[in-house]
């Protein structure tokens, strides 16, 4: 499984949804699992993003489908970064 960092910003509609139903965050995590994306860690953050998630997925295509599905809902904007553990990165450099 590959690792990805997903930084997300809620839209006005997304903020309204979270305010009215905070557990929606956990419901979305379950939906992601059905898409083949496992949330490993999730943080609510301050600054230009509202959430930072560390996820695992089998491939880029799975993450792309997830991104399109979530983005099409109009409640969140995502930036996704593929991530390589430092130990693996060092091995590949040798």
CATH code (residue 69): 3.30.70.920
Closest CA to 29 of 18, 17, 37, 19: 37
Number of domains in the chain: 1
Q: What pLDDT is attached to residue 64?
A: 96
The boundaries of the domain holding residue 21 are 2-93
* pTM of the complete model: 0.90
Q: What pLDDT is attached to residue 9?
A: 97
Q: What pLDDT is attached to residue 84?
A: 95
Alpha carbons 73 and 13: distance in angstroms, whole number = 10
Q: What pLDDT is attached to residue 3?
A: 97
Q: What pLDDT is attached to residue 46?
A: 97
Q: What pLDDT is attached to residue 57?
A: 98
pLDDT means per 10 residues, the chain with 94 residues, are 97 96 95 97 97 97 96 96 95 92
Q: What pLDDT is attached to residue 14?
A: 95
DSSP state of 26: H
């Amino acid at each position: 499984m590959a690792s990805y960092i997903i930084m997300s910003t809620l839209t006005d509609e997304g903020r309204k949804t979270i305010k009215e139903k905070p557990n929606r965050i956990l419901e979305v995590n379950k939906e992601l699992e059905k898409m083949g994306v496992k949330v490993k860690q999730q943080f609510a953050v301050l600054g230009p993003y509202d959430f930072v998630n560390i996820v695992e997925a089998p491939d880029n295509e799975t993450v792309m489908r997830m991104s399109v599905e979530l983005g099409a809902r109009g409640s969140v904007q995502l930036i996704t970064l593929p991530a390589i553990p430092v130990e693996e990165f060092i091995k590949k450099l040798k």
